[in-house]
């Protein structure tokens, strides 16, 4: 039975195809960015089932475009920080899937200090 989820054909092999769902790539991205200190994941992304929330993936011709929404910690140096995230995402996706990452677009949706982390203020 075919899934309704968007998938990318990674390899056509003699014994069959390897398909990767866009959702799987989004989860890989979510896991990669959760390793970066200074990022607050989208509130919807909390928990293992929601790692891909706030992450939008487009795959065409084995090229990946990632759009990621997140909140940063106050005091983070944005240029260095965002470069680190982009490299981490690119490396994780390319190493795990064999797909080429064309773009990692970051959308900083807020700033949060450690003091107001618990109350959800931006």
In this structure, whether the domain defined by 23-116 belongs to CATH 3.30.70.1350 is answered with: yes
| pTM of the predicted protein model | 0.79
Tokens of 45: 């992304």
The tens digit of pLDDT for each residue in 15-73 reads 888 888 999 999 999 999 988 888 875 554 455 556 777 899 999 988 999 999 999 99
Neighbours of 115 (CB within 10 A): 9
∠ CA 76-77-79, nearest 5°, is 135
Of 35, 53, 40, give the one whose Cα is nearest residue 91.
35
pLDDT of residue 121: 47
Name residues whose C-beta falls within 8 Å of residue 103's C-beta, 6 or more positions apart in sequence: 64, 65, 66
Q: Can you tell me whether residue 96 is helix, strand or coil?
A: helix
Mean pLDDT of 89-94: 98
Q: What is the DSSP letter of 4?
A: S
């Amino acid at each position: 039975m075919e899934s309704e989820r968007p998938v990318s054909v990674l390899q056509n092999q003699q014994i069959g195809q390897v398909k990767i769902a866009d959702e799987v790539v989004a989860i890989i991205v979510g896991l990669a960015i959760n390793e970066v200190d200074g990022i607050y994941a989208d509130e919807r992304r909390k928990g293992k089932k929601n790692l891909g929330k706030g992450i939008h993936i487009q795959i065409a011709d084995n090229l990946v475009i990632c759009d990621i929404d997140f909140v940063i910690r106050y005091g983070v140096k944005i240029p260095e920080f965002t470069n680190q995230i982009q490299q981490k995402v690119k490396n994780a996706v390319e190493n795990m899937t064999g797909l080429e990452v064309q773009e990692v677009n970051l959308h900083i949706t807020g700033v949060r200090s450690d003091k107001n982390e618990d109350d959800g203020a931006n």
